[in-house]
Structure 1
């Protein structure tokens, strides 16, 4: 990883996540967290101060050492103990069925193998556990999709691997989840970047792997 990827991208990510427009989505997702929580792609720890009553502990999973260091400064504001796991979501260092809630906020876009990560999430999630998420991804209109496809290769290079055209709904379903709730809509800003998927998913019973 070069200087840009190691030092500059983490700071750009932290800056992007400061956007006040994202706060209501973030707060709504975290409000549903309970029990033992795994947050994938915890980044610079913007969500940590939002964990409160009902959360027994948070595993903050993040592969970037620089982002983990930023997040440590926010861990003291969390309403539950925080354990940092410097690892990728494709290989989560936790036991099977060991967490009650998995949180993903604008993370699936940048995981190299999002399908594998979702399989790992399913593995570590308890049978009655929930995946709480807000993501951006593939838009419904063909014209917007074409622009997402055109822009994604260059955007990945400058944004730390963020894909504009991930089919979030189908990725989650193919990994063996079903939705309790899913809302899709454009947020403010350019449409290529702001088609949001916000919801709650559970493991489909009887599906293995």
Structure 2
């Protein structure tokens, strides 16, 4: 990782993700979380002040040490208790069926292997747990999709591997989740970057036997 990726990009990411228009998405996404929560791509900790008193602990995973330093400031003195782990979501150091809820906001777009990440979510989530997500991704209109396909190779190089064209809902379902709620639509901004998926999923009991070992 070069100087840009290690020092400049985390600060740009923090500033970009502080947009006020994203706060309602964040609030809705974390509102249903409870118990022990795993937050994938915790970043600079912008979700941490939004958790309710139903949450007893948050484990935040992120590959950026710089963003985690900002998150540590946000977590200082906060409730619930927060543990921050520097690492990849594809290989999380957590035991099987150890968390009650998983939260991810605008991070599946940038992970190297989203299927492997979602397999890890299934592995660490308790059988009755829920997966809460807010993401941007593939738009329904072909005209917008064409722009997403054109822009993604360039965009991902300057935006920390962020993909504009990942089909979020089908990715989640294909990895063994049954989506209980899904809301989609455009946020403010250029359409290729602004098609949002927001929802809640549970592990599909018919496919739960395929959870990989730790």
Query: TM-score scaled to structure 2, two decimals?
Result: 0.96
Give matches, 1:26-175, under 5 Å. Answer: 26-76=26-76, 78-175=78-175
Partner Cα distance (1:16, 1:34) in 2: 27
Shift of 1:143: 0.6
The answer to which of 71-80 and 106-115 deviates more is 71-80
CA RMSD of aligned residues (A): 0.8
Alpha-carbon displacement from aligned partner over 1:33-73 (angstroms, at most 9, x marks no partner): 10000000000000111122110100011111111111000
Q: Distance in 2 between matches of 1:17 and 1:78?
A: 20
- Indicate the larger mover: 74-83 or 160-169: 74-83
Quote the offset at 1:77 in angstroms.
5.4
Q: Is the 8 A contact 1:137 1:193 kept in 2?
A: yes
Counterpart CA distance in 2 for 1:197 and 1:206 is 24
Shift of 1:206: 3.2
The 8 Å contact of residues 97 and 123 in structure 1, kept in 2 or not, is answered as yes
Deviation at 1:78, TM superposition (A): 3.2
Which runs of 5 or more structure 1 residues have no equivalent in the other structure? none
Distance across 2 between alignment mates of 1:87 and 1:153: 25
**1:65-112 superposed Cα distances (whole Å, 9 cap, x missing partner):** 111111000002532000111111101110000000000001100001
Could you list the runs of 4 or more consecutive aligned residues of structure 1 that deviate by over 4 angstroms after TM superposition?
Answer: none
Which residue is 2:202 aligned to?
Answer: 202
When the two structures are superposed, what TM-score results if normalisation uses the length of structure 1? 0.98
For these two proteins, the number of residue pairs brought into alignment is: 209
